[in-house]
């Protein structure tokens, strides 16, 4: 756990960074040097006494190249707004996630070329910019449809190209990262995998943008620490997704969409926050209102499941919007955006 962060000035030269790190080592502190997008931050572990912290803070503040020294109470650092004030913008195929309201849409699973082609045509027509489709599906039962695997990725890639849409698909295990990364623009880490640490590390190393879904029982700190695993692989392109947490009651909804997590995350992290009201509710008729609410609470975008024929979907049909329902939602979002200040 980090107790203090030393933020270096933009472009501080290496000798100045080293001078700070060496001073810390001299006084028996093990500094954690964290290279950022435009500046370096140095973390100091929490095991120091208050007196030690005060002395170190006084000396370091006066050193060349030091911009500011802040005390932190958070267990995460790279994901924290404390040392990275500006919002992170993840640019994927021209879409600026974090700078504009982004809509990612498509079926839960890639089922066939025709199904993806039909879906992508609607996604394109709606003005959304990212096409989703699972090829490796995390299903509760091993007897449920497991996805088309590599064949599904090929279809997604092909259709994404045809319609000039960015693509996103889930990767479930570390060894599959290179395969999925070959075909898609964004790697999705599913809710069930949020704390699969080897997977987070591999996804981070791939250099691909990573879309991290919140685990169904993960706290905000656990969620941000998971993001920290990816960021610590020198991969700054991480997006967070609130997709519902374990509900009190499954009679009416599949999960409880924690919309209050959005302003909380926006305060404490610089990473883009996307909401998935499809898995968040599990019920198609509740998706539009939660999607609109996501825009109101300050989300950077939404992920929506939409299927040309929801009743025939091989997974998550009950929460999929029809093409007409999706287009109507996009119209409402467009209208609402005029009233919502980003
Ligand atoms: C999905 O996006 O289809 C999915 C499986 O989501 P989650 O990991 O949030 O359950
Ligand atoms: Mn799904």
Mean pLDDT of the region 67-92: 88
The pTM (predicted TM-score) of the whole model is 0.86
Q: Evaluate: CB of 171 within 6 angstroms of ligand 1.
A: no
Q: Which atom of ligand 1 is nearest to the CA of 134?
A: 3
Quick check: 50 pLDDT over 80? no
Dist. CA 190 → ligand 1 center (Å): 5
Nearest ligand, measured from the Cα of 168: 1
- Is the pLDDT confidence value at 77 over 90? no
pLDDT at 4: 85
Q: Is the CB of 200 under 6 A from ligand 1?
A: no
The residue whose C-alpha atom lies closest to atom 1 belonging to ligand 1 is 108
Banded pLDDT at 239 (limits 50, 70, 90): very high
Query: Is 317 a residue whose pLDDT tops 80?
Result: yes
Domains of the chain: 3-72 (3.30.70.260), 90-340 (3.20.20.70)
Mean pLDDT across 240-257: 97
SS3 readout for the chain: CEEEEEEECCCCCHHHHHHHHHHHHHCCCCCEEEECCCCEEEEEECCCCHHHHHHHHHHHHCCCCEEEEEECCCCCCCCECCCCCCCCCEEECCEEECCECEEEEECCECCCHHHHHHHHHHHHHHCCCEEECECCCCCCCCCCCCCCCHHHHHHHHHHHHHHCCEEEEECCCHHHHHHHHHHCCEEEECHHHCCCHHHHHHHHHHCCCEEEECCCCCCHHHHHHHHHHHHCCCCCCEEEEECCECCCCCCCCCCECCCCHHHHHHHHECCCEEECHHHHHCCHHHHHHHHHHHHHCCCCEEEEEECCCHHHCCCCHHHCECHHHHHHHHHHHHHHHCCCCC
Predicted confidence (pLDDT) per residue in 204-223, tens digit: 999 999 999 999 999 999 99
Per-residue model confidence (pLDDT) at position 2? 62
User: How high is the mean pLDDT of the chain?
Assistant: 95
265: Cβ below 6 Å to ligand 1?
no
Q: How far is the CA of 153 from the centre of ligand 2 (A)?
A: 16
* pLDDT tens digits for range 154-208: 999 999 999 999 999 999 999 999 999 999 999 999 999 999 999 999 999 999 9
| The pLDDT value given to residue 232 | 94
Residue 72: per-residue pLDDT: 74
pLDDT of residue 35: 84
Nearest ligand to the CA of 172 is 1
Residue 104 beta carbon below 6 angstroms from any ligand 1 atom = no
Identify the pLDDT of residue 138. 94
């Amino acid at each position: 756990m980090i107790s203090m962060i030393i933020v270096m000035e933009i472009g501080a030269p290496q000798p100045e960074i080293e001078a700070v790190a060496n001073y810390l080592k001299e006084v028996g502190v093990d500094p954690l040097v964290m290279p950022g997008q435009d500046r370096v931050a140095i973390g100091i572990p929490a095991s120091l006494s208050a007196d030690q912290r005060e002395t170190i803070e006084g000396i370091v503040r006066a050193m060349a190249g030091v911009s500011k020294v802040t005390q932190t109470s958070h267990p995460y650092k790279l994901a924290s707004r404390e040392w990275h004030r500006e919002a992170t913008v993840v640019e994927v195929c021209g879409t600026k996630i974090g700078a504009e309201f982004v809509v990612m849409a498509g079926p839960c699973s890639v089922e066939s070329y025709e199904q993806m082609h039909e879906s992508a045509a609607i996604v394109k027509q709606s003005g959304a910019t990212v096409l989703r489709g699972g090829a490796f599906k995390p299903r509760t039962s091993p007897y449920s449809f497991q996805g088309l695997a590599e064949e599904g990725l090929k279809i997604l890639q092909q259709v994404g190209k045809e319609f000039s849409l960015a693509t996103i698909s889930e990767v479930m295990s570390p060894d599959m990262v290179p395969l999925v990364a070959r075909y898609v623009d964004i790697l999705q880490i599913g809710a069930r995998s949020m704390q699969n640490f080897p997977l987070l590390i591999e996804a981070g190393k791939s250099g691909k943008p990573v879309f991290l879904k919140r685990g169904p029982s993960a706290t905000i700190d656990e969620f941000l620490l998971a993001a920290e695993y990816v960021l610590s692989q020198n991969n700054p392109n991480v997006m967070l997704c609130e997709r519902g947490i374990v509900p009190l009651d499954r009679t009416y909804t599949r999960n409880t969409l924690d919309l209050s997590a959005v302003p909380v995350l926006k305060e404490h992290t610089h990473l883009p926050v996307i909401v998935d009201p499809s898995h968040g509710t599990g019920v198609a008729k509740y998706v539009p209102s939660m999607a609109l609410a996501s825009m109101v609470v300050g989300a950077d975008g939404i992920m929506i499941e939409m299927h040309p024929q929801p009743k025939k979907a091989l997974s998550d049909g009950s929460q999929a919007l029809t093409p007409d329902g999706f287009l109507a939602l996009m119209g409402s979002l467009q209208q609402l955006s005029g009233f919502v200040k980003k």
